[in-house]
Amino acid sequence: MPSLTDLALGLVTLYLVWRLPRGGEVSRHWRAAFAWAAGTALAGAVYHGVLVGIPRVNALSWAVTSIMVVVVVSYLLAASVVQVLGRGRAVVFWLLRSVGLVAYVVLAATGHASITAIMWCESLTMASVLGLWIWAWLRHHPMGGPMLVAIGVSIAAAMLRLVPGAAALAGLDPDSGYHLGQIVGMVLLYHAIASRSGRSDTTALLTPTG
């Protein structure tokens, strides 16, 4: 079941990559985030379905897959910064991003790759993404509300994996519950980006509302 639900997540996300609006730097970041997310899910399907039972390959394949998750988060941050603040503010956030990225690569390289490690190393990056969109919503950015809903659903999906017994309430194992929840989160994220307010790099940038 984890393999099949990861496959479904990968195929849905791959379809959404094709449907995303094109043009502009922010569009490239969003498309990269979705493309890496699709690749990560498809790699996860192979891991759960085939590689998990091969001891010598198991740890290495999981480390590679988990590093791909970190790359997805990197592009989410880049897209959020450019969408909300514009290109000029990206440098500061990439400095923050590098802290979590380097920390996780070191953990993965030393055999400590795990969901818990990702959560700890990516907490600063995800807090930055969430904080950006909360600030944008408070300042009436047209994408603020839809983005916060999508992020909230993704966080709830993560809780199905992290909180013992949460997925069992829906009759699912933690991984399958997480994958299915992320499908909903990715669809909502797509709709937030592909809405009229998200189609233009210039019209969707945050501007003071007086």
Q: What is the 3-state secondary structure (H, E, C) of the chain?
A: CHHHHHHHHHHHHHHHHHHCCCCCHHHHHHHHHHHHHHHHHHHHHHHHHCHHHCHHHHHHHHHHHHHHHHHHHHHHHHHHHHHHCCHHHHHHHHHHHHHHHHHHHHHHHCCCCCHHHHHHHHHHHHHHHHHHHHHHHHCCCCCHHHHHHHHHHHHHHHHHHHCCCCHHHHCCCHHHHHHHHHHHHHHHHHHHHHCHHHCCCCCCCCCCCC
pTM (two decimals): 0.77
pLDDT band at 71 (very low <50, low <70, confident <90, very high): confident
Is residue 97's pLDDT more than 90?
no
**Per-residue confidence (pLDDT) for residue 82, from 0 to 100:** 84
Is residue 208's pLDDT more than 80?
no
pLDDT in tens, 31-55: 999 999 998 888 888 866 766 666 6
Q: Which of the listed ranges 61-65, 90-94, 117-121 does the model predict with the highest average pLDDT?
A: 61-65
Is residue 73's pLDDT more than 70?
yes
**Per-residue confidence (pLDDT) for residue 2, from 0 to 100:** 75
Is residue 210's pLDDT more than 50?
no
Q: Which of the listed ranges 25-29, 57-61, 87-91, 188-192 does the model predict with the highest average pLDDT?
A: 188-192
**Per-residue confidence (pLDDT) for residue 103, from 0 to 100:** 67
Is residue 75's pLDDT more than 70?
yes
**Per-residue confidence (pLDDT) for residue 25, from 0 to 100:** 64
Of residues 89 and 85, more confidently modeled = 85
